[in-house]
Amino acid sequence: MAASTLAWHNVVNVRNRLIFVCKLLCLHRSIDLSRLLRTVSIVNGNPYMLIQRKGWKTHKWEEIMSISSAPSISPWHLIKKYVELTSSLVSPRSPLLTTLVKPFKPLSSNTIGSLKRNLMAQYG
Does 2 score more than 90 pLDDT?
A: no
CA 98, 104, 107, 111 torsion-angle sign = negative
**pLDDT value of position 92:** 86
- Mean pLDDT score, 77-97: 94
Closest CA to 67 of 112, 115, 17, 113: 17
**pLDDT value of position 20:** 92
- Mean pLDDT score, 65-89: 95
How far apart CA 88 and CA 28 sit, in angstroms, is 26
Does 124 score more than 90 pLDDT?
A: no
**pLDDT value of position 63:** 96
71 to 64, 86, 124: CA distances (angstroms): 13, 19, 22
86 half-sphere exposure, CB direction, 13 A CA radius: 30
How far apart CA 50 and CA 73 sit, in angstroms, is 21
